[in-house]
Each structure stands twice: as C-alpha cells, then as structure tokens.
Amino acid sequence: MDKSKRYLIVGLGLLGGKYALELTRAGYHVDGINRSEGHLQYALDHGYIQSGKTRDFEDLVRQADHIVFGLYPTTFLEWFRVYGKLLKPGCIFTDVSGVKTGLVNEIQALCPPGVEFIASHPMAGRETSSVEHAAEVNFAPANFIITPTGKNTPAGIAWAKELAQVLGFEHICTLSVEEHDRMIGYVSQLCHAIAVSLMCANDNASLSEYTGDSFRDLTRIARINEKMWSELFLWNKANLIAEIDQFEEALQQLRSALAAGDRDGLERIFRLSTERRAAFDKKER
C-alpha cells in the first residue's frame, strides 16, 4: 500500500483504535474522527493518530485517500447519509461491521462517483470495547473476511487484502454478503445467543464454586457488549432465527433420545459431534 496515502479512521472504538495503532506503526499517516473528546485525546496521546476532530471535520473527510469506519452499522449509515458526499474521487474505504446485509448495498448506493466501498469484517476483539483496550487486540490468529459485491473492483479488493496484511491478519478470505451473514449467524451470533441463554437459565450465584472447564468455556462470551450485539442480532434477524431453530431441533433430538432412555441414539449423536469436531480441528491446523 502506498505510504503517501492519507488514512482516516471514523469511530475510534476498540477496532477503530486498533486499526489506527497498526497503520501508524506501519508508517502511514492516520487521522481520526470521534464523537467522544476523551477517547480522541487518548488516541492522540498514545500516538494512534496524528490528528483528530470531534466536529467540523469535513476537511479531514475530503482529504482522505482511505477511510475505515469503526462504527456500528446504524451509526455508520446515519453518518454516511450526511457526510458521504464529501469523500473524494478515488477514495477507497471499508468498515468493521459484523453484519453486511442492509448495509453494503445501501452505502454503495450513496457513494459519490469514483468512490468505492469494499466491505470487510475483522472477526476479532474480545468482549471489551473502547480505544483503551485497542492495544490488547491480536489480529494474527483471527479471520479477516472481505465481502465484495458486483460494484467492487479488483483494485478495491486488492487494497482490502493489503490492508488486512498490514494489520497483521494471517487468515484473509472472501465471501458474498449473503454467505457472510449466514455464516456469521451460525459461527458467531448463535454462539452468543447460546452463551447468554445458558447464563440466564439458572440463578447460578452459588455455582461458581463447582464449575469445571465446560461451563467456563461455554459462558466465556456471556459477558456481552449489549449495545453492539443487540444491533447485530436485529440486523441479521432472519438468519439468526433460522440458526436458533436449527439448533433447537438438534437439542430436542438429544432430549428425546434421553427421555426415551435411548442409549444407542445418544451415542449416535455423540459420535457425529465428535467426528465433526475432529474434522474441524484438523482443518484448523
């Protein structure tokens, strides 16, 4: 990527902050726009960005060669409806949103001529939020998903890949918007729905004394950023409901075998699970 290009991060949260940090470390010029003065100052103090504004930021937008929107989808759309027209021809920009349907096509339709939105999703970031935790995020083992549409160009996609490499991602791949949202419904959102439900199912204040690894593993993600996740869930509602229903069906099958005292049935279910998990483990290496 061209080091003379000016980068702009809009939304210096956990991921926006981490992108700024890595791009600056790699020698790029990075400016920031953020609603909160305090977090903007934090980013400046830590050298994540070279300059930043909370308002009257139109010039920063006009000058940017590349922009990363570290905003939740709803906020991103609202912002773009107002300021999107300021992006200069040739600007290629991306986002970090965990859901793509309802976002990518809409933003692309609002782009001025010569401006390209190549959407992407960094599947990273634990359940912390805020730029103050940005330095703790590790991109190396995480998946970076690029979600191009018919409106994207080879140059746009290439830029997104290079960006991911500069950021430190070792696993970069491409999915359509629809494939991405179906995938995320299962591998991420359903998991969060399950972890949260498990945590809420039982008034388990006394149980921490007795837990083993299995409970800890399943509820690690039950500490959940409620604002972000309710938004992502609602944006991907249809897919997530389908995944919840499919999961319920599998659990009901297990419950039925259990209720019927069907040992063979249970063992069949367990064997299938073990085979799939083993295949999954193999692929990961």
Pull the structure tokens for residue 162: 């290079």
Q: Which of residues 84-143 bind a second copy (CB under 8 A)?
A: 123-124, 126, 142-143
193 binding a second copy? (CB under 8 A): yes
Output the smallest distance, CB 195 to a second copy, in A.
7
Q: Which of residues 225-254 bind a second copy (CB under 8 A)?
A: 225-227, 229-231, 233-234, 237, 240-241, 243-251, 253-254
Instruction: Pick between residue 128 and residue 153 the one whose CB is nearest to a second copy.
Output: 128
Output the smallest distance, CB 123 to a second copy, in A.
4
18 binding a second copy? (CB under 8 A): no
Output the smallest distance, CB 78 to a second copy, in A.
16
222 binding a second copy? (CB under 8 A): yes
Instruction: Pick between residue 87 and residue 195 the one whose CB is nearest to a second copy.
Output: 195
Instruction: Pick between residue 155 and residue 241 the one whose CB is nearest to a second copy.
Output: 241
Give the chain as a 3 state SS string. Answer: CCCCCEEEEECCCHHHHHHHHHHHHCCCEEEEECCCHHHHHHHHHCCCCCEEECCCCHHHHHHCCEEEECCCHHHHHHHHHHHHHHCCCCCEEEECCCCCCCCHHHHHHHCCCCCEECCEEEECCCCCCCHHHHHHCCCCCCEEEECCCCCCCHHHHHHHHHHHHHHCCCEEEECCHHHHHHHHHHHHHHHHHHHHHHHHCCCCCCHHHHCCHHHHHHHHHHCCCHHHHHHHHHHCHHHHHHHHHHHHHHHHHHHHHHHCCCHHHHHHHHHHHHHHHHHHHHHHC
Instruction: Pick between residue 26 and residue 222 the one whose CB is nearest to a second copy.
Output: 222
Instruction: Pick between residue 138 and residue 153 the one whose CB is nearest to a second copy.
Output: 138
Output the smallest distance, CB 144 to a second copy, in A.
10
Q: How far is CA 258 from CA 107, 237, 248, 261, 268, in A?
A: 49, 31, 15, 5, 12
Binding mask 150-189 for a second copy (x = CB under 8 A): ---------------------x-x-x-------x--xxx-
Candidates 16-24, 44-52, 152-160, 220-228: pick the segment binding a second copy (CB under 8 A).
220-228
Output the smallest distance, CB 51 to a second copy, in A.
33
Instruction: Pick between residue 43 and residue 167 the one whose CB is nearest to a second copy.
Output: 167
221 binding a second copy? (CB under 8 A): yes
